[in-house]
Amino acid sequence: MTVRGSFPDLIHSYLYFFGVWEPGISHVIAHHLRPGDTAIDIGANVGAHTMLAASIVGAEGRVYAIEASPAIFKYLKENLEYNGLRQVVAVNLAVWDHAAPTTVLLHTAHNLGRTTIVRQQADPRDVVEEMQVEGRPLAEIVPPDVVRAARLVKIDVEGAEWPVLQGMRELVSSLHNECIVLVEVNSDALAHFGASLPDVLYLFRSAGWQVLEIANSYKPDFYLRTLHPILSTDIRIDSPVIDLGFCRPSVLRELLARDRCGTLVAPIPTHDVVYADKIK
């Protein structure tokens, strides 16, 4: 896969130097998805995880890539078109718990990944108001039957995860038996919405799901060493930001078995080049 982007953006820079973004999460995606699967990427950004998923599910599969920022969505579309990924349905909307306009706060060019629709998560020195976009619950963006059939849902929305999860609450118990839901959870953002990490855990556990913590870091040395193990059932409740995977017991056992024997760290499809196009 080839990514169009620019220095000094963090995601683009890491893809250029390391060929992968968020390796722990990328490994879970790469080793769980199969040809013909459906995946949903909420907070797709420029498409690093979307393109990885699309390369695995192939022409018979489908990936729904949802990105709120019109500026970032432009890069996402360019990347999909450049790589000929017609199996991806790209949507420029915000996922929320109800239908309402939301304001996109675009982060500066050194870290577009910090773009958010939650004002309390934005540093006013580093963001500008991009524009208002329509916010909707997931099932009003992706047909409910498609959501239920997905084998992977990734949620990385810079502090908006609680409204996203509330908007799909009624679907959790009916998701695919082999579905993994990957969520980046920010405790400060949860508190803004009157929630906490235990509330997120309860939402899934009460429906019979189990939880894993997925190793993740943005320090360069994390990208240079072998990741093993990358999964843990010991959840750091006090962590300010944490990457979690929710799945049913049979999927959990399979993932842990593969992690223990090291197969989760086998080579995965990587991203090749970042073109130095200026981000405007």
280 domain-assigned: no
193-211 residue pLDDT tens: 999 999 999 999 999 999 9
Whether the pLDDT of residue 246 is over 80: the answer is yes
279 domain-assigned: no
Query: How many helices (H) and strands (E) are present in the chain, helices listed first?
Result: 9, 13
Q: How far apart are CA 187 and CA 195, in angstroms?
A: 8
How many domains, in total, are found in the chain?
1
Write down how long the chain is. Answer: 280
- Higher pLDDT among residues 48 and 124, named by residue: 48
Whether the pLDDT of residue 278 is over 50: the answer is no
**Given CA atoms 93, 97, 100, 102 in this order, what sign does their dihedral have?**
negative
* Mean pLDDT calculated for residue range 124-144: 94
DSSP code string of 41-54: EES-TTSHHHHHHH
Whether the pLDDT of residue 173 is over 90: the answer is yes
Whether the pLDDT of residue 231 is over 60: the answer is yes
Whether the pLDDT of residue 13 is over 50: the answer is yes
Q: How far apart are CA 27 and CA 59, in angstroms?
A: 21
Q: What is the DSSP secondary structure assignment for residue 255, as one 8-state letter?
A: H
Q: How many CB atoms lie within 10 A of CB 74?
A: 16
21-46 residue pLDDT tens: 999 999 999 999 999 999 999 999 99
Q: Which domain holds residue 213?
A: 3-268
**CATH number assigned to the domain comprising residue 194:** 3.40.50.150
Tell me what the pLDDT averaged over the chain comes to: 90
User: Reduced to 3 states, what is the DSSP secondary structure of residue 77?
Assistant: helix
What is the amino acid identity at position 86? R
From the list 227, 279, 221, 271, the residue with the least C-alpha distance to 21 is: 271
Whether the pLDDT of residue 164 is over 50: the answer is yes
- Higher pLDDT among residues 229 and 198, named by residue: 198
